[in-house]
Structure 1
Amino acid sequence: MPKPTPTFVVRIEPAGWEFSAPGDRPIMQAAREAGYLMPASCRNGTCRTCMCKLVSGSVRYTIEWPGISTDESDDGWILPCVSAAESPLVIHVPHARLKSEVDAMLAQSITRQKRF
């Protein structure tokens, strides 16, 4: 019988939002599934758009060579697009947004464009 995947609570600061992240899924993917959007571009660990500060907890990378230096990692920076939680986490992502708010803004924008 397969061992169940552990799930950890992740808190996004400064907003204080919390979601559950399975230990076998990238943090960014789990956040998106829970309705939170983080800055992103490549989603494969090379562009560094998603780089954020790990305030507490521990992660493991899902790829062998993430685009982050040893010094940056030692200073607490992570790439949530290619890292998975190994414990409860607190991450500092000041530009994170609620997916529902972004969807509403896009819908308003489309409605305005149709009027012109």
Structure 2
Amino acid sequence: MSQEIPFFNGRIAPDGGSFDAWKTQSLLDSLEQGGLQWPSSCRSGTCRTCIGQLVSGQVHYEMKWPGLTAEEKAEGCVLTCVARPLSDVVLQDPFA
């Protein structure tokens, strides 16, 4: 009997490191737990300090509408402090 893995693989592109993207926590928490730096402030999805570009993968939000416009969401922008992974994810390095 196979046991479900509690996390997905996360990576910062182009070569910023990898991390375990835990299904039960935000991408920001997973990044920090993996020892990676990411800009952050409010941690509630409103200040937009942690905004990032999702290169590949899927996320979901616990809140109805995080602080992103429909256009930003369509372009792949995510708020890492409130986004949770639904698959393996690749984020664009915010410091590059």
Cross-structure match for 1:38: 38
In structure 2, distance between residues paired with 1:67 and 1:5: 30
Count how many residue pairs are aligned between Structure 1 and Structure 2. 94
Matched residue SS, 2:19: strand
Structure with the higher helix share, 1 or 2: 1
Corresponding position: 1:81 with 2:81? yes
Q: Higher relative contact order by CA 8 Å / sep ≥ 6: 1 or 2?
A: 2
2:39 alignment partner, SS class: coil
Larger proportion of strand: 2
Q: Higher Cα Rg: structure 1 or 2? A: 1
One-letter amino acid of the structure 2 residue matched with residue 65 of structure 1:
W
1:56 is matched with 56
Runs of 4+ in structure 1 over 4 Å off: none
Displacement, 1:5?
6.6
Identity %: 39
Partner residue, 1:25: 25
Decide whether aligned partners of structure 1 residues 93 and 16 sit closer, same or farther in structure 2, where only a CA change above 3 A counts: closer
Q: TM-score of the superposition, structure 1-length normalised?
A: 0.74
Note the aligned Cα RMSD (angstroms). Answer: 1.8
TM-score if structure 2 supplies the norm length? 0.88
